[in-house]
Amino acid sequence: MNLSTLQAFRQGVYASLSRAADALFNTVDALLTESTASNFAELALSPFFTRRWASLYEAFEDGRIEAERLREVLLAHLPRPAPGERLLLGIDATGIARPQSHTSADRTALLVHNLPDSRTPPITAGWQFSTLMVLPDPVSSWGYLLDSQRIASQQTALEVAAAQLRAVVARLPQGLRPLLTADRAYPSAAFVRATADINCGKLLRMACRRVFYRPAPPPTGKRGAPRKDGERFACHDPSTHGTPSVHWEGEERPGQRIEVDAWEHLHLSKAREVELTVIRLTRFAASGKKRDPRVSWFVWIDQEPAPLAQISPLYRRRFGMEHTYRFHKQDLLWEEPRLRTPEQFERWTQIVAIVHNHLVLTRPLIEAKRQPWESADRPATPQQVRRAMAPILATVGTPAPAPQPRGKSPGRPRGAQIGPAIRYRVVKKAKPTPKKRRKAA
């Protein structure tokens, strides 16, 4: 990584801004350098934002970003894994709460996690975004973002995730072997079928009450349709497990024994064409609580056999997404701007992703700026690198030209009547109800 690579990345990002490009790129540099800004408007105080403060809001009202072209730029500069290792991807969805934004369209009901007061309703309204990123090693907020999309009210998180994965994997450089990790919402039949033809392995954590089936037995020749599924495999019922196909024992950390069992050649009843491996990981030193389970279940879908010794380290890296989300919301002001339309907030989300990847690419070039109370023995954080960005931006320059002086706006015509903004109701997605099985006579 050198300055010419950083300049090429910046030129590519600027080329993907098709309208209001100068003001949008000024916003990128302002967000990169104003590490003490506490709200969206303060970004206009940055010396790298060479326009007036009103242009900050107009950039997201009038601006346009070519998503396909931006994705190509991000993929062209993604950090490569070490030789022999796989490109580990993570995907997840998070909410942007907007409970009082009644004039914002297409808000949906969002679940609020970890509420300190149990009497507070765990439901709010806002927008939900799906993020696909390269997971950092070790676990930190140094992930590299590949794609961020809003989940519209007529879509599901699984549909958007499958489309993101398909678009990104098709454009990955040759030789990379991607492996996707995701949490318990993703190992469903709908997601498995939608991504079956994508050249990407999957390691998906699942709930302990999932049910799978072994291959169907050969036809018996008797009347009636042959069986479509074999013997039942219920994760919560040990009597259905049988002998594991593969077993491995080792230590997660010194003195912390783990066991990993795998049952191969299973499938879901609604995705029979996709063969998968069910994995049970037992951590004997765990407390057994919700955040530290003793037994965890995973699904492995890939042409290669599951590397049982690497299941725990690989999935543990997925928590880098949580650290990245926290950095975006606490330091990069992702939730802060009160932009009215979802399209405007989608542009802001793409700007936040651009800024984050700027920091990832610049990390080897500069020395992080630490506060006196921050330890020098720990690896640098994105926020510490962000504090040292101003000198390097002054060195590489900006592709955005200086603003041109303009006359005053004529304002609204005399007699114009501006009515109240349209108010929108929160869209509540219907929860699919499972079909009831007929009872045997």
Say if CB 129 and CB 94 are below 8 A apart: yes
Question: What integer pLDDT is reported at residue 120 of this predicted model?
Answer: 66
- Tally of CB atoms within 10 A around 317: 18
Residue length of the chain: 441
Sequence-distant (6+) residues with CB within 8 A of 41 are 53, 56
Q: What is the DSSP string of 15-32?
A: HTEEESHHHHHHHHHHHH
Q: For residue 10, give the nearest of 345, 332, 355 by alpha carbon.
A: 355
Write down the residue that tokens 């049970």 correspond to.
280
Say if CB 301 and CB 201 are below 8 A apart: yes
Cα separation, 126 vs 105, in Å, equals 9
pTM for this model (two decimals) = 0.91
Cα separation, 309 vs 318, in Å, equals 17
The one-letter amino acid code at 342 reads P
Angle at 195 between CA 75 and CA 176, to 5 degrees: 35
Say if CB 341 and CB 105 are below 8 A apart: yes
Question: What integer pLDDT is reported at residue 113 of this predicted model?
Answer: 77
DSSP conformation class of 414: T
Helices vs. strands in the chain: H and E counts, helices first: 11, 14
Residue 130 β-bridge partners: 93, 149
Phi, psi torsion values for 263, nearest 5 degrees? -115, 115
CA 111 to chain CA centroid, Å, is 17
Question: What integer pLDDT is reported at residue 438 of this predicted model?
Answer: 56
Say if CB 334 and CB 355 are below 8 A apart: no
In this prediction, the residues of the chain whose per-residue pLDDT falls under 50 are: 441
Cα separation, 83 vs 141, in Å, equals 23
Sequence-distant (6+) residues with CB within 8 A of 191 are 158, 161, 162
Could you give the count of Cα atoms lying within 13 Å of 276 in the half-sphere of its Cβ?
Answer: 30
E strands along 269-319, which residues?
271-283, 295-301
Sequence-distant (6+) residues with CB within 8 A of 384 are 368, 369, 370, 374
